[in-house]
Amino acid sequence: MDILYAALVLGGLGLLFGGLLTLTSKVFAVPSNPTRDAIREVLPGANCGGCGYPGCDGCADAIAAGKAPVNACPVAGAAVAEQIAAIMGVEPADAAARKVAKVICQGDIDRCKTKFNYTGIQDCVAASLVSDGNRACKYACLGLGTCVKACPFDAIHIDEHKKIAVVDEDKCVACGKCVAACPKNVLELQPVTRPVRLMCRAAEEGYLVSDNCRVGCIGCERCAIACKFGAITMVNNLPVIDLDKCVGCMMCAEACPTNAIWADWDERKIAEINQDECIGCGLCKRQCQFEAINGEKKMPHEITTACTGCGACAAKCPKKCITMKVREHARDRHAKVGTTPDPVLAVKNENVAAPAAKPARTPEMEAKIQAALAAKAAREAAAKQGDAMKDTETPVQTAEAEKAE
């Protein structure tokens, strides 16, 4: 009988608490968000955190609240981003805005000197603790695969011959785990499409860089001088490119003496004038800062192969008869027309800006360049002199020298 009473009491308590819980859930229920639920349904459910939110639930909440873009999930891809855009009732995200990890270093073993042979743990973090790594440039990729171990998507590997990290952009989802794992900070998330990129982190200048790496930035500032649009500023001896100002003319990469700036040459543009519609107003010629447009007043103008593809002429053409197309041949830097008046005639239309004056290298910039060249010449001369002395030494002199040592 006691067991029966106990069972009845426990059963009654269970019913009472169950009823209280049901009542509480009804009273304090959070209204469902159909948009959020639909977004969560199409997300892949990887819960990797690459979006910057706590799992897919957090990402769905942020997208539905308008705090994150429709392509916030790096794993989902363009197809899922389009589905989310349809759910949100907005335009799909631009594919060009997709980011991938980029290796900001070209210092492979053929270009960057090696200080010593490292035989320890095959890990970049461990190697960096030994004399800041075995590469002569302390900013270079060590190529020991710490980033490879950190990537959960098999999107990065080490080139067996060059010993440098290489990213597979098709597999990369921009989760940022390789960026966080790299002790040398040579990995960075950047837009997959970009006209120019700085491919060096060496925050030094002149021979301090060129002695260690053949493709390092020496801080000569030629890129900043070549840029006519104010898109490059020098910070810690490295050029910083403002993509909002960059027009894709690629003159910075063309001027770089060490190829430290990469350019997408295959997509470089060139202007083309429709001869039937051009009225010869000359606005395009006055806008061109590269003297790449030829033509007399009231006569159709022509574009020469000196065109950099900046698009300034197309933007100002009142007849909209200038189009930009991908060029088929490399730019001829010697094809300047040189017929633009100097100084340029006064511009009556205040909306048309006069070309900026051609900047010149400052004495400080010139001194840096000359110092680097002089140091290189001195090293080469000393090396040749040392080889010559070795060739002229007799066996007796060599033996005496070794005995003296």
Checking if the pLDDT of 151 tops 60, the result is yes
Least-confidence region, from 21-25, 101-105, 176-180, 371-375? 371-375
- pLDDT (0 to 100) of residue 268: 95
Name the average pLDDT for the chain.
83
pLDDT (average), residues 251-271: 94
- pLDDT (0 to 100) of residue 125: 95
67: confidence class by pLDDT, cuts 50, 70, 90: confident
- pLDDT (0 to 100) of residue 363: 67
Beta bridge partners of 112: 213
DSSP secondary structure, 220-243, as one string: --HHHHH-SSS-EEEETTEEEE-T
Q: What share of the chain in percent tops pLDDT 70? A: 83
Least-confidence region, from 26-35, 256-265, 326-335, 340-349? 340-349
Checking if the pLDDT of 246 tops 80, the result is yes
Q: Which has the higher per-residue pLDDT, 36 or 386?
A: 36
Residues contacting 223, CB < 8 A, separation 6+? 232, 239, 252, 253, 255, 256, 261
393: confidence class by pLDDT, cuts 50, 70, 90: low
pLDDT (average), residues 330-350: 55
Q: Which has the higher per-residue pLDDT, 271 or 345?
A: 271
Give the highest mean pLDDT range of 32-36, 45-49, 128-132.
Answer: 128-132
Q: CA-CA distances (angstroms) from residue 303 to 257, 258, 264?
A: 27, 29, 21
405: confidence class by pLDDT, cuts 50, 70, 90: very low
Pinpoint the residues of the chain covered by CATH 1.10.15.40. Answer: 30-93
Q: 203: exposed, middle or buried (C-beta count within 10 Å: 0-12, 13-18, 19+)?
A: middle
404: confidence class by pLDDT, cuts 50, 70, 90: very low
Chosen CATH of 100-193 out of 3.40.50.2300, 3.30.499.10, 3.30.70.20, 3.30.70.270: 3.30.70.20
Q: Which secondary-structure segment (H or E) carries 209?
A: helix 207-210
Domain 199-267 has CATH 3.30.420.10: no
pLDDT (average), residues 135-157: 94
pLDDT (average), residues 399-405: 47
Checking if the pLDDT of 266 tops 70, the result is yes
Distance CA(229)–CA(223), nearest Å, equals: 11
CATH homologous superfamily for the domain 30-93: Electron transport complex subunit B, putative Fe-S cluster (1.10.15.40)
121: confidence class by pLDDT, cuts 50, 70, 90: very high
Give 72-107 pLDDT, tens digit per residue. 887 777 788 888 888 888 877 665 567 899 999 999
Residue type at 380 in one-letter notation: E
Checking if the pLDDT of 184 tops 80, the result is yes
17: confidence class by pLDDT, cuts 50, 70, 90: confident
Checking if the pLDDT of 360 tops 70, the result is no
- pLDDT (0 to 100) of residue 361: 54
- pLDDT (0 to 100) of residue 8: 80
- pLDDT (0 to 100) of residue 21: 85
Give 287-307 pLDDT, tens digit per residue. 999 999 999 989 999 999 999
- pLDDT (0 to 100) of residue 345: 35
- pLDDT (0 to 100) of residue 350: 39
Checking if the pLDDT of 387 tops 80, the result is no
pLDDT (average), residues 247-254: 94
Pinpoint the residues of the chain covered by CATH 3.30.70.20. Answer: 100-193, 199-267, 268-368
Strands 232-235 and 165-167: unpaired
pLDDT (average), residues 263-275: 94
CATH architecture label of 268-368: 2-Layer Sandwich (3.30)
Q: CA-CA distances (angstroms) from residue 207 to 57, 85, 221, 377?
A: 52, 52, 14, 11
Residue type at 11 in one-letter notation: G
18: confidence class by pLDDT, cuts 50, 70, 90: confident
- pLDDT (0 to 100) of residue 12: 82
pLDDT (average), residues 275-293: 92
Beta bridge partners of 196: 263
* pTM, to two decimals: 0.68
